[in-house]
């Protein structure tokens, strides 16, 4: 969530930065925001005036009441009666002030709620280093690694290669529906080997703490990382049955995680972290569940765009001064997995129109897929700055002893299914077998080739 003080201080600049994003007209109703802000300022000023008047009258009442006893003792009954009437008049005035004050406070709370509802629908501001563009065509290549392999035979895609090895799309459809897949035998073993290898790289070489997290989370967790309320249509809700047929309260609803970024980042929700504990580096291997509501029928063949897929996620929670250093580091951590696997890739700096909702800056890693003769996304690494932390109230105590918002980052290290696709296609052989990358062989009992 954006800092509302930033919008109050320089709304025009914030809007100009938001307008470089995709569909900026849907982000913030500027007229409605300005109207609420104007009313808020007026009410706040009036509330402060009422408070001052109330304090003044309450003090005067106290003085008058204190004088009455002395006046009666000295038999100044007329003055005592005058003081009493004056005090009663002031009390009536204070009662009227209290009524207006309470009414103003109720309206102020309503305005704050309306402003909050506006803000949660507004994406993060792009960092100044992000290239400006309307869609993926505006992304900028940063670097490449490796060379695309050449083949002396007609290449197959991962579907044709994987099906004889145990990739079963028909069974996935039978059990669950389209965009679900079953893996059996050697292909399932390779999939498991990839996830174990990725976890070992991130924990043993890059210093992440491995975590096991719930696959279903509450709405507060998804609000904290920005998936709710704006992207509820992209989530799978997990229904819970009530006891003895009773309905389940709405606030108990759970959602299947779209990525383990959600539970991992929420570790610091409503927490003040000691600065000495930073950075916090977490990783987890989980399934991810996405409805793909806005995918428009893209990538319907194979494993590229599934409702359920596995991912090894990296999350860093860092000091604000260190977040862009951490972004570069995390990108290298994802690259290291691809390099060890010998998979050609390129790093892209996403433009303003192609970045995710919560990101201030994002690097995509795109792996080479021979059957498509192109690079496809396999990892996305983002710095969200304080955008998620403000929602989460995730803070640390700075050197001055004051609470300050943390910065959060997340990235894939890597998407397991897409890495499986890349291994199958880049290491395919003419006879339909697949050579196992050397770094994966220890996870497969030394197996060097997967053959139908």
Q: Is 395 annotated as a binding residue?
A: no
Q: Is 290 annotated as a binding residue?
A: yes
Q: Is 379 annotated as a binding residue?
A: yes
What residue has token string 């990892």? 379
Q: Is 433 annotated as a binding residue?
A: no
Q: Is 261 annotated as a binding residue?
A: yes
For residue 14 the two structure tokens come to 């914030």
What residue has token string 């919560």? 358
For residue 230 the two structure tokens come to 């704006």
Is 282 in contact with 209 (CB distance < 8 Å)? yes
What is the number of other CB atoms lying within 10 angstroms of the CB of residue 389?
24
Q: Which residues is 141 bridged to in the sheet?
A: 348
Q: What whole-number distance in Å separates Cα of residue 262 and Cα of residue 388?
A: 10
Closest CA to 14 of 115, 126, 130, 138: 126
Q: Is 300 annotated as a binding residue?
A: no
Q: What whole-number distance in Å separates Cα of residue 165 and Cα of residue 185?
A: 7
Which is it for the CA torsion 301, 303, 309, 311, positive or negative?
negative
Q: Is 412 annotated as a binding residue?
A: yes
Cβ neighbours of residue 235 closer than 8 Å, sequence gap 6 or more: 222, 227, 228, 255, 256, 258, 289, 290, 291
Q: Is 292 annotated as a binding residue?
A: yes
Write b or e for each residue in 409-421: b if 16 or more Cβ atoms lie within 10 A of its Cβ, otherwise e: bbbbbbbbbbbbb
For residue 148 the two structure tokens come to 């695309």
Binding residues are 259-261, 290-292, 313, 377-380, 412
Binding-site members for ATP are: 290-292, 377-380
Q: Which residues carry a binding-site annotation for L-serine? A: 259-261, 313, 412
């Amino acid at each position: 969530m954006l800092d509302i003080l930033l919008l109050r201080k320089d709304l025009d600049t914030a809007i100009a930065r938001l307008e470089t994003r995709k569909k900026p007209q849907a982000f913030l109703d500027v007229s409605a925001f300005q109207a609420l802000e104007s009313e808020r300022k007026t009410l706040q000023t009036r509330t402060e005036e009422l408070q001052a008047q109330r304090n003044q009258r309450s003090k005067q009442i106290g003085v008058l009441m204190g004088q009455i006893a002395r006046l009666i003792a000295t038999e100044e009954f007329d003055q005592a009666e005058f003081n009493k009437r004056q005090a009663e008049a002031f009390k009536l005035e204070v009662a009227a002030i209290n009524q207006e004050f309470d009414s103003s406070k109720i309206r102020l709370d309503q305005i704050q709620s309306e402003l909050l509802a506006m803000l949660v629908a507004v994406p993060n501001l792009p960092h100044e280093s992000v290239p400006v563009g309307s869609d993926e065509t505006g992304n900028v290549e940063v670097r490449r690694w490796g060379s695309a392999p050449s083949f002396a035979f007609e290449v197959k895609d991962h579907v044709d290669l994987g099906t004889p090895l145990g990739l079963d799309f028909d069974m996935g459809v039978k059990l669950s529906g389209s965009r679900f897949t079953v893996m059996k035998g050697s292909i399932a073993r390779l999939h498991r080997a990839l996830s174990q290898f990725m976890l070992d790289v991130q924990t043993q070489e890059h210093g992440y703490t491995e975590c096991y997290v719930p696959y279903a989370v509450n709405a507060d967790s998804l609000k904290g990382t920005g998936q709710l309320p704006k992207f509820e249509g992209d989530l799978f809700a997990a229904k819970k049955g009530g006891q003895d047929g009773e309905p389940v309260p709405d606030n108990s609803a759970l959602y299947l995680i779209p990525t383990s970024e959600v539970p991992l980042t929420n570790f610091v929700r409503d927490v003040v972290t000691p600065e000495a504990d930073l950075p916090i580096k977490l990783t987890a291997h989980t399934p991810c569940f996405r409805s793909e509501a806005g995918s428009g029928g893209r990538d319907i063949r194979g494993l590229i765009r599934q409702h359920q897929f596995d991912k090894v996620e990296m999350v860093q929670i860092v000091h604000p001064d260190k977040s862009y250093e951490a972004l570069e580091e995390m990108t290298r951590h994802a690259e290291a997995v691809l390099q060890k696997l010998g998979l050609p890739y390129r790093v892209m700096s996403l433009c303003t129109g192609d970045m995710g909702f919560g990101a201030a800056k994002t690097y995509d890693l795109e792996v080479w897929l021979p059957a498509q003769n192109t690079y496809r996304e396999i990892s996305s690494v983002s710095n969200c700055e304080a955008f998620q932390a403000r929602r989460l109230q995730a803070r640390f105590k700075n050197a001055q002893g004051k609470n300050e918002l943390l910065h959060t980052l997340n990235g894939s290290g890597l998407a397991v299914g897409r890495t499986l696709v890349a291994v199958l296609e880049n290491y395919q052989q003419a006879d339909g077998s697949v050579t196992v990358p050397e770094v994966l062989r220890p996870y497969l009992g030394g197996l060097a080739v997967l053959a139908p």
